[in-house]
């Protein structure tokens, strides 16, 4: 199978611009055990990763104090955006720090229920775009957002067939 033809940007654009054309490769992805196992492993991997990252942060005093985000913002080696104006707004820094900490620690528990999954994924967008833009780690932020797409796939599948469990 030609992976570039199956998943490449040119394939997506051709399908969008010329929806009635005949294709050499099948248009729909067929469900397979290997694909399901791969998605589930990625999902579990993210839960473990965020769980350990969050519990590791619980060991740091600056996270409990709500000032850890300020340490990243004030560090000139990571700074790509000038957010030093946050120095005069400590409540905003505390809220961002504690919200990010709560999100990371609770990710593994809140990502699985259908009700809370969209909220967790929206928070992932804010956290990782924030990391990418504020700390200059754009590749990391985009990679983590791409990994979180593994939790969007079941939502899209259940939207097409609501009777199926996720």
- Mean pLDDT value across residues 35-63: 93
What pLDDT, on the 0 to 100 scale, is given for residue 126? 96
Quick check: 107 and 51 in contact, CB under 8 A? Answer: yes
163 has pLDDT over 70 = no
**107 or 81, which is more confident:** 107
**46 or 33, which is more confident:** 46
pTM, two decimal places = 0.72
Where does 1-89 have alpha helices with state H? 3-7, 9-17, 33-58, 61-65, 68-74
Percent of the chain residues topping a pLDDT of 90: 49
Quick check: 7 and 29 in contact, CB under 8 A? Answer: no
Question: Residue 147: pLDDT band by 50, 70, 90 thresholds?
Answer: very high
């Amino acid at each position: 199978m030609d992976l570039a033809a199956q998943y490449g940007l040119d394939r997506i654009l051709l399908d969008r611009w010329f929806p009635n054309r005949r294709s050499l490769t099948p248009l729909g992805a067929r469900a397979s055990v290997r694909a399901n196992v791969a998605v589930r492993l990625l999902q579990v991997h993210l839960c473990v990763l965020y769980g350990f990252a969050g519990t590791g942060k619980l060991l740091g005093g600056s996270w409990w104090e709500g000032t850890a985000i300020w340490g990243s913002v004030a560090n000139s080696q990571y700074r790509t955006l000038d957010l030093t104006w946050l120095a005069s707004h400590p409540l905003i820094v505390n809220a961002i720090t504690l919200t990010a900490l709560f999100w990371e620690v609770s990710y593994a528990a809140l990502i699985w229920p259908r009700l809370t999954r969209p909220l967790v994924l929206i928070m992932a967008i804010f956290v990782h775009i924030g990391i990418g833009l504020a700390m200059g780690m754009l590749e990391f932020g985009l990679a983590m957002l791409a990994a979180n797409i593994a939790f969007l796939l079941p939502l899209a599948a259940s939207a097409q067939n609501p009777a199926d469990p996720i």
